[in-house]
A and B are shown apart, each in its own frame.
Chain A
Amino acid sequence: MRIGTAKTSYLADEALFDTAVQRRWMVALLAALVLFPLFAGPYWLYLGCLVAINVASATGLNILTGFTGLVSLGQAAFMGVGAYTVAWLEINLGTPFLLNLIIGGCSASLIGMVVGAPSLRVKGLYLAIATIAASVILHFLFANWTAVTGGASGLTMPPATFFGTPLDQPGKLYWVIMPITVLMVLGAANLFRTRVGRAFIAVRDRDISAEVLGIPLLRTKLTSFALSSFYAGVAGGMWAYFFRVITPESFPLVMSIFFLAAIIVGGMGTILGGILGATFMTMVPEALKLIVGGLSPWLPDAVALLSPVRTIVFGALIVGFLIFEPRGLAEAWRRLRRFFHLWPFKT
């Protein structure tokens, strides 16, 4: 049970984690993230990196769609811009990987602002279509600007190096990808306790009265686009270092839908939602794969029989969430927390 949250300063009242219990859990989570590579095998490390990359990108999309209310289906294409930039820099200039990631993020951010420019006039589904159009154009560039992108065969890049050590295994890259993702998520959480984040939410909730409060709509929307695609660009850059082969098919439109689904399942407009949603969407197919694999001693044909079922179960889970928990996993988590705040008394 939670008894009293007495605070003596406004700073303590506005802290990201405002109770001691919460802070302890966060330390435990960080410790788990640090210890994870010491115990996990390569397969789990691979998954860990993939989840981290997806969390970074989903958080970016959540800033744009969940918090600012601008539906975008261009997230994968923005990731592509980041990935191609990073790969090009790594192959042609060999600059340090952190710098490459930042430049990748910035280039995606610039493209994002251009794509976001119509958002002052078009909203909702119309904006979604406009972003699809933008991502089609970007894919065309990926496939046909052979001098830079390598055309249909794509780019194959060397691994990132850290003081001469090649980061070519998920186990090593984990130490790059996970901290960057943690920083990006913390940054996003910080954003929403300051004026910038509040302006995003204001634009989402009622853009007319936002204007009366002195919030310029176009600038706010473009900032949101820029930030969201910066996140996508950095995530795409990490993706590039992780897989090291980038082709025009690496970032299909379906991937944008994947991220949109992730934030819907996780909970739009909450930082936790982006994390939970991306983790859920990445892990559930793997978990189902494991379950099917685990059944094979009893059912020799399990893999062949149940593989199609897996996809159906995955789809059904998403639909189930939309129906029974429309505000996402984050809301379910919040309810669980409230239960323990009051436990052992009944809510």
Chain B
Amino acid sequence: MAIDVDPSRLLPELPLPSGPPALAVDGLMLFFGGLRVLNGVSFEAREGSVTSIIGPNGAGKTSLFNTVSGFYKPAAGAIRFRGASIDALRAPARAQLGLARTFQNISLFHGMTVLDNIKLGRHAHMKSGVLDALWYRGRARREEMELRREIEEKIIDFLEIDHIRKAPVSALSYGLRKRVELARALAMRPKVLLLDEPVAGMNREETEDMARFILDVKEEWGVTVLMVEHDMGMVMDISDHVVVLNFGQVIASGKPREVAANPEVIAAYLGSGNVEDLRARVRQGAQAKRGAV
């Protein structure tokens, strides 16, 4: 049994740009107490590519993201961002460098409008201080107006969310919230964009919209995309490179079609496909339990 991929749907294989990878992770180790969450994870995301990280639940994908964006401090390993080490930097500093991310369970600010949420993305790149802000005229206003224009013309227009710009986030549907979160990440002027399950819980149409946006972000903005996703159809369709994680280890990586054909991946993802195997395992478990009693 193999993951069903229609070869005609795959993207033509473009040669990937050379130069240092946009993001390189090397031998990352992370422990939660005695639990080994990441066990020597290494991979590279080439500049201007879409790299997907897949794997069963609990494989450590989100922990990997949290480590890369600076929430978790790894026990060992190195993270290089466009050739430079960012191990010593905390989350806000990494954001300022151009490492933007979205969250699995959307983390927008519910009390604010869509526009304010997107504007927040630019926070680290703006300069006006408290006194500018209190007075507003002058620097603060100039900066805010520049930001507003850019957000309107580049982001809101691009993501087709102009009808909801003044709506409070709490009033939006799930799919729109995901889109607003992407908008906020884009406002951060990202060089590398980490998307944690961008289409989870979306219907077919919303998923296709999101896939289109991700491809456009890659092509038009030249942003390197690193994405965790469970929707295999989308992963296989839009990724240049796929990394498979299981129990905190990289078990395979390569082009989508190579990975899809890798027997180890299929076993990790779908089981071995042999019903007898499963029965035997269940029986064994039951016997072990009986033995223990």
On A, residues with C-beta under 8 Å from B are 10-11, 13-14, 187-188, 190-191, 193-199, 201-202, 204-206, 208-216, 223, 226-227, 269
**Contact between A194 and B140 (Cβ–Cβ < 8 Å)?**
yes
**Contact between B132 and A212 (Cβ–Cβ < 8 Å)?**
no
* 22 A-B contacts (beta carbon < 8 Å): A10-B148, A13-B148, A14-B148, A190-B140, A193-B144, A195-B123, A196-B128, A197-B133, A201-B116, A204-B111, A206-B107, A209-B107, A211-B71, A211-B92, A212-B100, A212-B107, A213-B92, A213-B95, A214-B96, A215-B123, A227-B130, A269-B111
- Other A-B pairs, 15, CB within 8 Å; known A194-B144, A212-B95, A215-B123: A13-B148, A14-B145, A187-B134, A194-B132, A195-B128, A195-B133, A198-B119, A201-B112, A202-B109, A206-B109, A211-B90, A212-B69, A212-B71, A213-B95, A223-B130
Q: Can you list, as one digit per residue, whether each of B73-115 has a CB less than 8 Å from chain A (1) or not (0)?
A: 0000000000000000011110110001101000111111000
Nearest B residue to A217, CB-CB? B92
Nearest B residue to A16, CB-CB? B136
**Contact between A196 and B129 (Cβ–Cβ < 8 Å)?**
yes
Distance in angstroms between the alpha carbons of A10 and B143 in the assembled complex: 12
Contacts A196-B128, A198-B120 given; does A191 touch B133 at CB 8 Å = yes
A68 CB to nearest B CB, Å = 12
Contact partner of A214 among B111, B123, B148, B152, CB < 8 A?
Answer: B123
Nearest A residue to B95, CB-CB? A214
Contact partner of A213 among B116, B128, B148, B188, CB < 8 A?
Answer: B188
Chain B residues whose CB sits within 8 angstroms of the CB of A194 once the complex forms: 128, 132-133, 136, 140, 143-144
Distance in angstroms between the alpha carbons of A188 and B130 in the assembled complex: 10
On B, residues with C-beta under 8 Å from A are 69, 71, 90-93, 95-96, 100-101, 103, 107-112, 116, 119-126, 128-130, 132-136, 140-141, 143-145, 148-149, 152, 184, 188
**Contact between B91 and A212 (Cβ–Cβ < 8 Å)?**
yes
Nearest A residue to B149, CB-CB? A10
A221 CB to nearest B CB, Å = 13
Chain A residues whose CB sits within 8 angstroms of the CB of B108 once the complex forms: 209
Nearest B residue to A223, CB-CB? B130
A194 CB to nearest B CB, Å = 4
**Contact between A190 and B136 (Cβ–Cβ < 8 Å)?**
yes
How many residue-residue contacts, CB under 8 A, span A and B? 111
B151 CB to nearest A CB, Å = 10
Chain A residues whose CB sits within 8 angstroms of the CB of B110 once the complex forms: 205
**Contact between B130 and A201 (Cβ–Cβ < 8 Å)?**
no
**Contact between A215 and B124 (Cβ–Cβ < 8 Å)?**
yes
A26 CB to nearest B CB, Å = 16
Distance in angstroms between the alpha carbons of A341 and B1 in the assembled complex: 63
Distance in angstroms between the alpha carbons of A206 and B184 in the assembled complex: 15
**Contact between A196 and B111 (Cβ–Cβ < 8 Å)?**
no
Chain B residues whose CB sits within 8 angstroms of the CB of A205 once the complex forms: 109-112
**Contact between B91 and A195 (Cβ–Cβ < 8 Å)?**
no
Distance in angstroms between the alpha carbons of A11 and B135 in the assembled complex: 15
Chain B residues whose CB sits within 8 angstroms of the CB of A216 once the complex forms: 92
Chain A residues whose CB sits within 8 angstroms of the CB of B109 once the complex forms: 201-202, 205-206, 209
Contact partner of B144 among A14, A204, A211, A215, CB < 8 A?
Answer: A14
Chain A residues whose CB sits within 8 angstroms of the CB of B120 once the complex forms: 198-199, 202, 210, 213, 215
B229 CB to nearest A CB, Å = 19
**Contact between B107 and A214 (Cβ–Cβ < 8 Å)?**
no
**Contact between A199 and B130 (Cβ–Cβ < 8 Å)?**
no
Nearest A residue to B99, CB-CB? A212
Distance in angstroms between the alpha carbons of A325 and B121 in the assembled complex: 33
B90 CB to nearest A CB, Å = 8
Chain A residues whose CB sits within 8 angstroms of the CB of B141 once the complex forms: 11
**Contact between B101 and A193 (Cβ–Cβ < 8 Å)?**
no
Residue of B91, B129, B144 contacting most chain A CB atoms (<10 Å): B91
Distance in angstroms between the alpha carbons of A197 and B149 in the assembled complex: 19
Contact partner of A198 among B91, B116, B136, CB < 8 A?
Answer: B116
Chain B residues whose CB sits within 8 angstroms of the CB of A213 once the complex forms: 92, 95, 120-121, 123-124, 184, 188
For the complex of A and B, list the 5 residue pairs with the smallest distance between their C-beta atoms, beginning with the closest. Answer: A214-B124, A214-B95, A209-B107, A190-B136, A187-B134
**Contact between B135 and A195 (Cβ–Cβ < 8 Å)?**
no
Chain B residues whose CB sits within 8 angstroms of the CB of A214 once the complex forms: 92-93, 95-96, 123-125, 188
B64 CB to nearest A CB, Å = 15
Distance in angstroms between the alpha carbons of A269 and B111 in the assembled complex: 9
